Amino acid sequence: MTTTPTRKKRGTLRAEFGSPERRTAYYMILPALLIILIVAFYPIGYSIYLSFFKATIGNTGNFVGLQNYADMLTNSNFRTGLSNTIIFTVVSVFFEFVIGLAIALAINRAFRGRGLVRAAILVPWAFPTVISAVMWRLMFQDQIGIIQYVASALGVVSEPILADPTLLLLGAILVDVWKTTPFMALLLLAGLQTIPGDVYEAARVDGASVVQRFFRITLPLLKPAILVALLFRTLDAFRIYDLFWVMSSRELESLSTFVYKAVRVSQLNFSVGNAAAVFIFVTAFLIAMFFIKVLGMQTSTEE
């Protein structure tokens, strides 16, 4: 891509909007941008504003400063949601990454049956999360569930899985790993395929072992793809809602289910729920910034 020629500051804007091609470009972008600004950025601004008021669904209420955030931090449901969300995010993304990378490395070659493997990758991905939650709940179920049956038969669990908060969280992690590991593998595989084969050939000629090749060539060259995959999965796991909501019949708390209950179901805790919504937004923003600034993830498609 050629870069815009630098001009003197004065007249830059006029030149920018004076050129017909550029004007057309802005006209073409504007509708999409407006939709995004009005329906996503304006509401988040409004959310942040509301979070300083004792707001209800119907009116803004009195200014209370940071009181909503203080109430949020002392709320025991919020704390449960926060710790569940952190455990869920860290554990599931870790396993998805490790297993996904192993799968990507294994299938990065020509072999018979690629189509079948591709289908096996895409089928769990295409499922609506709530439907996979319904399906797995049927399998965890204590009267007819195959997993419950096998786990009890082996003596691993003695109580209904769906009635135990810890087992339920583990179950949710299992479902998430099942559903998104293949997708992780797909993203990493695409990254692997951009590494030219002769790099490995040269390393092999120089006597590098498999382990050395993995740590010295594969990982560094795969870093951009790894960061993108990890960031997307981390943010996705961090806002987990549908899986928890449906699998546990609304009992397993995450940050998002906390917000949902406060804002939509009971509305008694509206202002605290709204503060938690802002908390999720800010945390997600910080996570993204961490990946981009600290880990050096590239965000632009321009080279």
Partner 1 sequence: MAAASASRSSRGSGLNLALFYVFLIVFVLVSVAPLLWVFKMSIITKSELFASPPTILPRTPTAASYATIFGDPAFQKALINSTIIAGTTTIICLFFGSIAAYAIARLRFRFKSIVMTLILAISFFPPVAIIAPLFIQFRTFGIIDTYLAAIVPDVVFALPLTIWILVSFFKELPRDLEEAAKVDGATTIQAFRKVIVPLAAPGVFTTAILTFIFAWNEFLFANTFLFDADTQPVTVAIPNFATVYTVDYGAQAAAAVMVTMPLVILVLIFQRRIVSGLTAGAVKG
Residues 102-131 close enough to bind partner 1 by CB under 8 A: 103, 106-111, 113, 115-131
Residues in contact with partner 1, counted by CB under 8 A, come to a total of: 119
> Could you say which residues in the range 187-246 bind partner 1, by CB under 8 A?
187, 189-198, 200-201, 224-225, 228-229, 231-232, 235, 238-239, 241-242, 245-246
* Contact map string, positions 135 to 174, toward partner 1, x by CB under 8 A: xxxxx-x-xx-x--x---x---------------------
For residue 294, state whether it binds partner 1 (rule: CB under 8 A). no
d(CA 241, CA 261): 11
For residue 100, state whether it binds partner 1 (rule: CB under 8 A). no
Copy the structure tokens of residue 18.
């004076």
Specify the residue, 195 or 208, whose C-beta has the smaller distance to partner 1: 195
> Could you say which residues in the range 50-79 bind partner 1, by CB under 8 A?
50, 57
* Contact map string, positions 178 to 197, toward partner 1, x by CB under 8 A: x---xx--xx-xxxxxxxxx
Q: At what angle do helices 76-107 and 270-289 cross, to 10 degrees?
A: 30
Burial class (CB in 10 A: 0-12, 13-18, 19+), 182: buried
Which residue in 81, 100, 171, 273 binds partner 1 (CB under 8 A)? 273
7 contact partners, CB below 8 Å, separation of at least 6: 15
